Chains A and B, each alone.
Chain A
Amino acid sequence: MKLRLSIIFLFFVVLSNSQEKFTISGTLTDQSNGESLIGATIQISGTGKGTATNTYGFYSLTLPAGKHKLQYSFVGYQSIYKEIDLKENVVINIELPLETEIIQEVEVRAEAEDGNVRDANIGQVSLEIEKIKTLPAFLGEVDVVKTLQLLPGVSSTNEGSQGFYVRGGGPDQNMVLLDEAVVYNASHLFGFFSVFNSDAVKNVNLTKGGIPAKFGGRLASVLEVNMNEGNNKRWGVKGGLGLISSRLTVEGPLKKDKGSIIISGRRTYIDILMKPFIPKSSPFHGSSYFFYDLNLKMNYRVSDKDKIYISGYYGKDVFRFVDSDAGFDVKMPWGNGIGAFRWNHSFNGKLFMNLSATYSNYQFSFESEQDGFNLKLLSRNQDIGGKIDFTYIPNYRHRIEAGAHYTYHIFQPQNVSANQDTIVFETGEVQKYLSHEVAFYIQDEIDITEWFRANIGLRYSQYYFTGSFNRYVKNGIGFQDSIKTYQPNELIRFYHGLEPRLSMRFLLNKWSSIKAGFNYNYQYVHLASLSSVSLPTDTWFLTTDKAPPQKGWQASLGYFFNFWKNNFEASVEVYYKDMRNLVEYAPGTLPEDNLNDNVDNLLIFGRGYSVGAEFFLKKVKGKFTGWIGYTLAWTNRIFDEINNGNPYPAKYDRRHDLSVVLSYQISPQWNISSTFIYATGNTMTMPQGWYLHEGNVLYEYGDYNQTRMDPYHRLDVAFTWFDKPFRFKRNKETGEKEKVKRKLRNSVTVSVYNLYNRANPYFLYFDSEGDPLSGNGGDFTIKAKQVSLFPILPSVTWNFKF
């Protein structure tokens, strides 16, 4: 161990030389609204050396004294070149103009980036929200998670399924962070929409391989979603009216150039629109569904060195069904509530600190009432977290990050209470699972030579499963079950582990590089599903004395190259992933088995592996942009209790997954875009035979996931019209026409979902024809039926901004 640590510290030794050095630090922001820019690059012009801004738009670059020419750039913005004569530590805050704006004061060049080739990150993708907005969207609702699913290695199971799947990992294996707070369920309405309102989102970054040491707690990926900070220069309103929902965002300065606030809200209104048209005889009568969400963010620059942020999200889906004739009333609300407080402090230009306090809450409840019989089901996860992260940038060769994370988990996987008037039924105690998750990490992104860059890190995580807690010991039917009770704060089980992380980049030449990544991760939360599609009812639960933490490692290797003056980026990545202690409900578990028992008593544990190759070609610059992504992959699971312990394909095992995303800017006013998806069909467990019991047909199911649905493919297109930024106004004094900036900006997007009306499989079921007993209706046959969800669906959305 000592030797290992010594080697690691060797890399962290700061290379020094006798020449005097000074630090340039500062922030990069959008010139138009003061929003900080994440991942913008600062390069020493002509050398390829440099740094990038962090999540808060902060950068630091330490260089020898003397003259330097710096290039500040970010995709979608014009680069700014700045010459400086470095004699002391300086703070340079830069405001980058958008590509479409024209400015005169500084030297501006628009150049493609070569970050794809140069940085050490493997398996990392950033999406620009403005680009996402021009892509076709389902019912006009722009959705970052849906766009992520167009990237190689990322998929959804199908329409109407929650979450996303990264390189063969389950939906619980993605760490979804909204301004650093965990989001447990990132979907509205069974995954048709994500919880991220595109007007409130600034940036989306997905890491699917070579996960750096600063992230932990999940095996498959990290999805960082950063909310807009709000315009700190002027007040503004933007919004959109769509077919099923509307959005409204208000933002403005708390104090000009110092702080801002943004409030964004969204609600669907299909329930209100449909209500008058549902006749009383319809089975839908009495049912309604809607979702809404609210985002709030405030930031304030307290001093040159300190900035604070407060972020909040609250969203809810509500399904209700009332049948007054039957005296039946059901309410099913579910949603997330998230809050984060962050304090950034820059010590001396080289050392940057972020302190965060976060709170996450996801809950699902089901309440029904009929004739005095009340049933309430509640499952809830709460995380209370604290983080301290330091970034130390001694020179442009090193970027050292270290920190400590703490999370207090309070999970109530499923609690049921039932009463009939005064009789209260025995449904078990309210079960709370409590645990403390702690992690420490250190990582260094280091330029060892000109051509060899590495990000070396180590994370150490600890997990304390504590009381108070009741362990149910089931003794079989007819015997009294026993309960072992643990006292408050009593340690029930402790787990810990080292999680080494490594990613490397070998620059072959200016246009190409080879990258490799390795990460070993622990995961202390799990998600188990009883259904063959993901639902909000899926139960989250913690690592316990019975349920060990999931462990996994992934190794990936990639060849990255740019061509045509960085207009095109291309990559080929291969990966292998091994996962242990994966969870499933034991075969034959029915939903009611969760009651009066510990959820983990119903689970089985197994392993999984995934292997694949991802091909990616992206055109990043010009009028014509887009990408083609193709993944070839195998994902298998091995559980002793399933399939006699033989490997079987995971339900999201996709052999082929192809996405083509194209966007063409016809003119400043018109954009056309399209997406095409092709994916191998999902696996299913199907009956092989049938038999009769009391005249009813019962099925005998065969091996797990041995049947595949038809492939999924779909083409969507969208046209977006933007109004002209200027209008002409006659000057009353001169009588001449003048160009004036429009205050109200409009755009209209018309999109067509599933253009060629493909009937894609959502699920399969069986229907029988004829009567097995009487022969009425001919011979008895069972037929497989495929249900498809959405035919061709046009939609129109009007967006505005003033």
Chain B
Amino acid sequence: MKKLFYIFSLMLLVSSCVKDITIDLPPYQPKIVVEGKIEPGFPPFVLLSNSLDLFASTSIADLENNFITDAQVFVNNGMDTVQLILICTDSIPAQYQPIVAELLGYSPEELQNVNICAYSTFDPNWFGVVGMTYNLEIFHNGEVFRSTTDLLNPIPLDSIYFAERSTLPGYGYMQAELTDPIGSGDAYRWETRRLNHYSDGSPKDPVLIAPFNSSFDDQFFDGLQFSWYYDNPGSYEDSTIEDSKKGFYQIGDTVVVKWSKVNHDVYEFLRYADAQIANGGSPFASPVNVPSNISNEALGVWAGFSPIYDTVICE
């Protein structure tokens, strides 16, 4: 359906003209934005910032200044509570850099060039454990923001393999099969990363990348065996791949697939975020805000991911 609307939009755009316009908007009241994540074996990370005025020009410096560093952030696992400390990108231990990079959308290399501070802890007792529920509490400017997330039992894929296309030898999608447990409400997320490098030695995918519609739930296949495939999200930014082959993996790629179980609140956030990113103001979509799982009108998400990693060699 998305492809179809893309074509429609394109048809309209081709027969049409596009110009910049200015729109008068009422004064904007920024809100607190929470990007919080916890995974098994990793500490909780919480990045706090303010949302920004739509048309305000924003430099890297503005963005850095926009992060909130004067909050008090607590995580509770149902028994104990810990106050997270402010850790800045220049002082993050190497083993946690990939997860911070992923959270921020930076490559580890890019992470060196910016100074962003997030709330976390290096106490191994607070590293994520499957089966636990984690409560988040943020105090800032006299207001309190609360949320809860879970680290659910991960569900392994039955199989995962590179499915070469008969019409395009050497290229294909990543095909997977899953037996969904009985009981509705299971939700999943798919992310991938090619481990290959360009000729200059730089990594093809510096971080895990989520494809379009990276999350889904079992509404339509509860308790059934289900098979699907995803395209290669990294290929669209890869200038070494010609346009007609974008979207495909190719023989020789080594791909890490992160297959996570998420709870339904997180799924809803990811689903709406995907919808918003895909729509980008399209007339075929209705304007939808992304539902946050944080109280007090905060934006963003406090997300627990329970992943299983697979590595696929495309051959």
Contacts and interface: CB of A to CB of B under 8 A. Distances in A.
B283 A533 contact: yes
A590 B272 CA distance: 8
Contact of B10 (A284, A423, A690, A766): A284
B123 interface: no
Interface residues of B, number: 86
A425 B227 CA distance: 11
B289 A596 contact: no
B67 to A, nearest CB: 10
B3 A685 contact: no
A604 to B, nearest CB: 13
Given A759-B17, A787-B13, A790-B15, A691 B51 contact: yes
A325 interface: yes
A426 B221 contact: yes
A366 interface: yes
B31 A321 contact: no
A779 interface: yes
Interface in B200-215: 210
Interface in A738-785: 759, 761-766, 772-775, 779-785
Interface string A718-752: 00000000000000000000000000000000000
A762 B283 contact: yes
B11 interface: yes
A2 interface: no
Contacts of B102: 694
Contacts of A480: 184
B282 A765 contact: yes
B261 interface: no
Interface in B160-182: 165, 167-168
B276 A773 contact: no
Interface stretch (A5-13, A299-307, A552-560, A696-704): A696-704
A784 B21 CA distance: 6
A759 to B, nearest CB: 6
A160 interface: yes
Contacts of A622: none
A49 B277 CA distance: 66
Contact of A325 (B114, B168, B183, B300): B168
Nearest to A332: B4
Contacts of A535: 284
Contacts of B224: 423, 425-426
A589 B285 CA distance: 10
Interface string B280-315: 111111111111000000011100000000000000
A477 B264 contact: yes
A531 to B, nearest CB: 5
B17 to A, nearest CB: 5
Contacts of B14: 284
B281 A764 contact: yes
B25 interface: yes
A46 interface: no
Nearest to A372: B227
B80 interface: no
A689 B7 contact: no
Contacts of A698: 273, 276-277, 290, 299
Given A531-B283, A764-B281, A785-B19, A695 B219 contact: no
A374 B118 CA distance: 45
B79 interface: no
A548 B305 CA distance: 43
Contact of B17 (A281, A533, A707, A791): A791
Given A588-B291, A590-B288, A692-B33, A426 B21 contact: no
Given A587-B288, A782-B55, A692 B35 contact: yes
Most buried by A among B35, B114, B219, B290: B219
Interface string A282-298: 01100100000000000
A764 B57 contact: no
A327 interface: yes
B178 to A, nearest CB: 12
B35 A693 contact: yes
A792 to B, nearest CB: 11
Interface stretch (B69-77, B104-112, B127-135, B138-146): B104-112
B222 interface: yes
B276 A531 contact: no
Contacts of B63: 772, 780
Contact of B20 (A478, A529, A695, A785): A785
B57 A779 contact: yes
Contact of B273 (A324, A693, A782): A693
A318 to B, nearest CB: 13
Interface size class on chain A is: 35 or more
B58 interface: yes
A706 B27 CA distance: 13
Nearest to A708: B23
B92 interface: no
A672 interface: no
Interface in A576-608: 585, 587-591, 595-596
B217 to A, nearest CB: 8
B149 interface: no
B103 A694 contact: yes
Given A690-B51, A694-B103, A789 B15 contact: yes
A480 B285 CA distance: 30
Contacts of B288: 587-588, 590, 701
A115 interface: no
B226 A533 contact: no
A689 B30 contact: yes
B91 interface: no
A711 B238 CA distance: 42
B53 interface: yes
Given A327-B167, A765-B280, A765-B282, A477 B185 contact: yes
A786 interface: yes
Nearest to A684: B287
A328 interface: yes
A762 B189 CA distance: 36
Interface in B43-90: 49, 51-60, 62-63
Given A588-B289, A773-B104, A784-B23, A699 B276 contact: yes
A767 B224 CA distance: 41
A695 B105 contact: yes
A144 interface: no
A687 interface: yes
Interface string A413-438: 00000101001011100000000000
A260 B264 CA distance: 65
B7 A687 contact: no
A771 B292 CA distance: 25
Given A699-B276, A773-B110, A780 B58 contact: yes
B286 A687 contact: no
Contact of B210 (A477, A694, A706): A694
A546 B244 CA distance: 49
B19 A694 contact: no
B244 A325 contact: yes
A482 interface: no
B198 interface: no
Nearest to B265: A477
A762 B16 contact: yes
A570 B6 CA distance: 47
Contact of A688 (B4, B26, B58, B103): B26
Instruction: State the 8 A-B residue pairs at the shortest beta-carbon distance, nearest first.
Output: A695-B105, A765-B281, A763-B283, A477-B185, A775-B60, A691-B51, A691-B33, A478-B185
Given A686-B54, A787-B12, 6 more contacts: A330-B3, A477-B264, A686-B23, A694-B105, A694-B210, A701-B287
30 contacts: A284-B10, A426-B221, A481-B184, A529-B286, A533-B284, A585-B286, A595-B219, A595-B220, A687-B54, A690-B51, A692-B35, A693-B300, A694-B105, A695-B104, A695-B105, A698-B276, A699-B276, A710-B21, A764-B21, A764-B23, A772-B58, A772-B63, A773-B105, A775-B59, A780-B63, A784-B55, A785-B19, A785-B20, A789-B16, A790-B15
